[in-house]
Amino acid sequence: MANARRWLTKTLLGMLLTTLIGGFAGAMLVRFAPGYGVDERELDVRLSTKTITAIRRENAQQHNLALFYMHYLAATMHGDLGYSMALGRPVRELLSERLPETLTTVGVGLGFAWSLGLGLATAVVLSRDSSIDALASILAGILLCLPTAILALWFFLAHASTRLALGVIVFPKIFRYSRNFLLEARSESYVIAARAKGLSEIHIFLGHILPACAARLVSLGAVSVSLALSAAIPVEVICGLPGIGQLAWQAAMARDLCLLVNLTMVITAITVVVNSAPELLKKGACA
Amino acid sequence: MKTTASFLLLWISTLLTGASLSAQSANELRFSIHSFPKTFDPVLVDDDASETIRYLTGGVLIRINRESQRLEPELATGWKLSRDGRTITFTLRDGLRFSDGTGFGVADVAYTMNHLMDADLHSPTGDAFRVGEGKIAVKVLTANQVAITFPAAVVGLERLFDQVAIMSQSSPRKEMAVLGPYMVDEAKPGAVIVLKRNPNYWKVDSAGHHLPYISAIRLDVQPNRDLELIRFLRGEIHFINSLDAEYFEKVKAENPAAARNAGTSLDSEQMWFNQVPTAPLPAYKKIWFGSKSFRRAVSEAINRNDLARVVFRGHAQPAIGPFSPANQFWFNTALRPHPYDPTSARARLAAEGFYWRDGALYDSSGNRVEFSVVTNAGNRYREQMATLIQQDLSDVGIKLNVVTLDFPSLIERITRSFNYEACLLGLVNVDLDPNSEMNVWLSSAENHQWNPRQTSPATDWEADIDRLMRAQASSLDDRRRKQLFDQVQAIVWDQEPFLYLVNKDALAAIRPELHNVQPVVFRPQVYWNIEWLTLNAVVATRQ
């Protein structure tokens, strides 16, 4: 029990450290990107010299990266995530408005991707029909080759829910991996023995094949969340979905340091938590 | 298995179709904005989306009629400017109420002006009023008369009030209490803003019907212009306020009546050379860029008609100077576009000591004439223009390299590091008065792009421009100001610190079910008369 607690503490600390390093890496990239610290408003001919100077002074406050990050972390402890220069609003408000949109998009997309991917992989395993396998593999191959932007646009043009575009982007990977896992398990000796004993295909699938692949499918699930999150950025930008993907794009274009650091940390934290989940579950089951 | 498959199919089809359908009211106007407004506070507006909301919801004392370009009374029934140009006295309309029922009066005008001129807010609207040192004084004269006194004379003062939406001093709803035709009903950040008719709006039509005719406006945030066009063609939005030439042609091909060209706009596309003395450029290039003959030769080597014809599909005109002919009063009608004349360009270059070897141009020191032009990445029109200019200049032996940069990097180069040779950008004119361009023309100004923030004018002609601009800014006689600004335009035409290329046409796409639309070149082109727009053909015939 003490070992498990020590392991859990170590894992949580590792996750926290990764998130903090992720945030700092994000901040560093923005800070040293060309065009950092400039503001489009500087080209507004209506603005007086005093106002332009004030805008420049405002942007110059975040020039010392280490100082910025320390102040940021100190403020974060008090629930203050800072202020978005580009959008003129507190980051906390922006995240609370946009995060649910992205989580919905990712949720719907992943639901669709898993239904289709695992469904087709199951059909391939159960039917033992090579034509279904060939058709499903060709479909996955084609979708894998198509750029995310084209798929997102196609869904928009087809009047379809653009959230599903995300599912179609993630589907090929889920199908390919889960198909391989299931086919590998199907050729195990105990599965052949079960079939020889006369068990039905459904029973074999549910009782022997699926449990054998469960751990790997859970890991695939974690990876698919990361895939969906990264695909959410172009999908939201192209389809105009107001989530954190679109926000990340706007922040990057405007070199909005505070907003980008927060977004990097949120995405890093989700990715780290989701990727650690299978191991946590495994340890939990063992304990 | 069959039941599971059927359920799966049903679920997929629901997902595929469900989200794209939404209930749409018959009397709801729909159009897109390209970003969510940064603010609803009319004083702090500095982006297009916030400007749109301010125009639709804000009540102003004086409005510029976008069609006639003349001033019209709104919340003020009249105004009077003092002889010294420092004080303006407004007589307010009686009995008006804000959208939340709060009464409108002189105290609200005073509150708005004090809020607008708060130096800590750095309001772009307020900056236009800022002249000289000192504060403004707002004096309540009677229950419906208020006088505003500025520290010094403000030229074109009345016109500036077109941008000042009056705020309520006492309403608990602050900036959400408005005097304009619409009020914000719902705002879903990043997605949509719904405006509904202001029940207390004061205007009525000749038959006594309350304006505006349209009961609600839905503004969808759509940053992607391609999707905006698709949505227009599908009938999901009623108009596109400002359309690119290529999209205009697409709309015209599908529905000729929907494509509307209001004529040459106020906006210009221009190119300039970096003339900053401290710029990290070779000395010989600084000599080229500082030479009037070189600039004029480059200008004459560019075929502006081709730019207009090829890049803008004929929906642009060769540009002449800072203002396009659309600016009826201030445009200098004596000027003509620089002709496309490669022979004259060669003669000018030869006179300056340039020579040709194997078709390539060299300066008198033997340096190959080659430079790069930066422009913003993703703007295909500028990229196409740069490519055409590249071809034109190669005809006179000049090698032009085109560099596209994202906007922050570009701004950094043209305002901070000055690490660029030439730049191709556009200027959006939001004001008709030349005084709004003081920050461009004064040699000490930040936006004097070719050589900003000069401590003293680097050239005689820049000193002349400084003198003329200051003189026009201190005169209250519009005819005198026009004479002075005509001289500025003539100097700019002759010296070409900016190589004005084209003035684009103001293009719009408007669905036939939207009536009473009279697109103009001045922003907001399509909905400037929003109160009178209607989706009802019967109402439209009342006009």
**CATH class of the domain defined by B264-504:** alpha beta
**Structure tokens given for B297:** 């030769």
Please state the domain extents for chain B: 25-58+180-238+511-543, 59-169, 264-504
Nearest C-alpha neighbor of B58 from the set B217, B216, B190, B201: B201
| pLDDT digit string, tens, across residues A119-174 | 999 999 888 888 999 999 999 999 999 988 888 888 888 888 888 899 999 999 99
Residues 173-202 on B with a CB inside 8 Å of A are 188-191
B188 to chain A: which residues are within 8 Å by CB?
242
Distance from C-alpha of B283 to C-alpha of A135, rounded to nearest angstrom: 66
Task: Report which residue type is found at A257.
Answer: L
Chain A: closest CA distance from residue B26 (Å): 21
Nearest C-alpha neighbor of B84 from the set B479, B478, B476: B476
For residue B542, give the DSSP letter. T
Helices (H) and strands (E) in chain A, counts: 12, 2
Closest-approach residue (CA) in chain B for A93: B189
| pLDDT digit string, tens, across residues A168-194 | 999 999 999 999 999 999 889 998 898
Q: For B89-131, where are the alpha helices, taking DSSP H only?
A: 106-116, 124-129
Interface test with A, best of B34, B163, B227 (most A CBs within 10 A): B227
- pLDDT mean across residues, chain A: 88
- What pLDDT does B325 receive? 92
Query: Of the CATH numbers 3.40.640.10, 3.40.190.10, 1.10.490.10, 3.40.50.10860, which one belongs to the domain with range B25-58+180-238+511-543?
Result: 3.40.190.10
B407 touches chain A (CB under 8 A): yes
Angle between helices A163-186 and A91-127 (to 10 degrees): 40
B446 to chain A: which residues are within 8 Å by CB?
42, 47, 49, 52
- What pLDDT does B542 receive? 56
Q: Report whether A67 contacts A57 (CB < 8 A).
A: no
Test B411 with A42 for CB contact under 8 angstroms: yes
Distance from C-alpha of B89 to C-alpha of B138, rounded to nearest angstrom: 10
| Antiparallel, parallel or unpaired: β B216-221 and B422-427 | unpaired
Sorted by where each starts, the structural domains of chain A and their CATH numbers stand as 92-254 (1.10.3720.10)
| pLDDT digit string, tens, across residues B191-203 | 899 999 999 999 9
B342 touches chain A (CB under 8 A): no
Coil, helix or strand at residue B172? coil
Domains B25-58+180-238+511-543 and B264-504 share a fold: no
Nearest C-alpha neighbor of B79 from the set B93, B67, B96, B68: B93
Task: Considering only the beta carbons, identify the residue of A36, A45, A254 that sits closest to B436.
Answer: A45
- What pLDDT does B303 receive? 97
- What pLDDT does A279 receive? 78
Closest-approach residue (CA) in chain A for B13: A160
Chain A: closest CA distance from residue B403 (Å): 15
State the burial class of residue B62 (Cβ atoms within 10 Å of its Cβ: 0-12, 13-18, 19+).
Answer: buried
State the burial class of residue B173 (Cβ atoms within 10 Å of its Cβ: 0-12, 13-18, 19+).
Answer: middle
In chain B, which stretches have pLDDT less than 50? 1-11, 13-23
Chain B: closest CA distance from residue A6 (Å): 43
Per-residue confidence at A8, pLDDT binned at 50, 70, 90? confident
Angle between helices A163-186 and B2-18 (to 10 degrees): 160
Task: Considering only the beta carbons, identify the residue of A242, A253, A255 that sits closest to B189.
Answer: A242
Chain A: closest CA distance from residue B223 (Å): 6
- Looking at the DSSP assignment, which residues form a beta bridge with residue B375? B404
Nearest C-alpha neighbor of B352 from the set B301, B302, B292, B392: B292
More confident: B500 or A59: B500
- What pLDDT does A241 receive? 87
B127 to chain A: which residues are within 8 Å by CB?
46-48, 51
CATH topology of domain B59-169: Dipeptide-binding Protein; domain 1 (3.90.76)
More confident: B204 or A45: B204
- What pLDDT does B80 receive? 95
Task: Evaluate whether ipTM surpasses 0.85.
Answer: no
Backbone angles phi, psi at B245, to 5 degrees: -60, -40
Distance from C-alpha of B186 to C-alpha of B196, rounded to nearest angstrom: 9
Task: Considering only the beta carbons, identify the residue of A36, A97, A240 that sits closest to B227.
Answer: A240
- What pLDDT does A153 receive? 87
Chain B: closest CA distance from residue A45 (Å): 6
For chains A and B, CB pairs below 8 A equal 140
